[in-house]
Amino acid sequence: MATITDVRLNVQKGGPGGSNSRRNVTVSYEVCFNRCELLDGTVFVERIDLKGDDPIFDDQQAVLSNGLCIKATEQCIKRKITRGVSRSTLDEDGDTVIFGIPINEDQDELYAKITLTPFTPHGDEAKSNVVRGSWGALGSD
């Protein structure tokens, strides 16, 4: 299986306030492939999730990448992805607000989870429109 190393998450700080304003979220990593993957020409599908780090259950905050195909190469590949994410999405541990007044700021803890899944081809099917006619013994079409 591909080896993912040197995973880094960076979230832009500062800038305009308000829950609708956005911050640049950057994830970088390096992926290296083994000999069998190289010989096979294996293609992997990348998914990068932004998750909230919590004691019991890590919440899904955003999907930063989903569906990009990466082909195994002899050289390791360095990837860097930057997406704009709203502050309200980054606020995974909401602050305490009473009667509309914020009284306690809760620190948010985020991490990136990278998954590379070997691509598996699958087919597709579709139907055409329905054409009506009379092609039988009594028909004229």
Q: Is residue 19 part of a domain?
A: yes
Q: Is residue 131 part of a domain?
A: no
- What pLDDT score does 84 carry? 94
Could you identify the residue written with the tokens 């195909």? 69
- What pLDDT score does 75 carry? 97
Q: Is residue 125 part of a domain?
A: no
Radius of gyration for the chain, computed over Cα atoms and rounded to the nearest angstrom: 24
- What pLDDT score does 21 carry? 86
Q: Is residue 16 part of a domain?
A: yes
Q: Is residue 108 part of a domain?
A: yes
- What pLDDT score does 9 carry? 97
Q: Is residue 135 part of a domain?
A: no
- H-run or E-run covering 60: strand 60-71
- What pLDDT score does 123 carry? 87
Which residues of the chain fall short of a pLDDT of 70?
16, 18-20, 93-96, 101-102, 104-105
Which residues span the domain enclosing 93? Answer: 3-118
Q: Is residue 141 part of a domain?
A: no
Q: Is residue 129 part of a domain?
A: no
Q: Which of 42, 26, 35, 43 is nearest to 112 (CA)?
A: 26
Q: Which residues of 16-53 are buried (b: 16+ CB within 10 A; e: fewer)?
A: eeeeeebbebebebebebeeebeeeebebbbbbbbbbe
**Alpha-carbon distance 38 to 72, whole Å?**
6
The CATH number that applies at residue 49 is 2.60.40
Residue pair 38/74 in contact (Cβ under 8 Å)? The answer is yes
- What pLDDT score does 134 carry? 86
Residue pair 89/82 in contact (Cβ under 8 Å)? The answer is no
Counted domains in the chain: 1
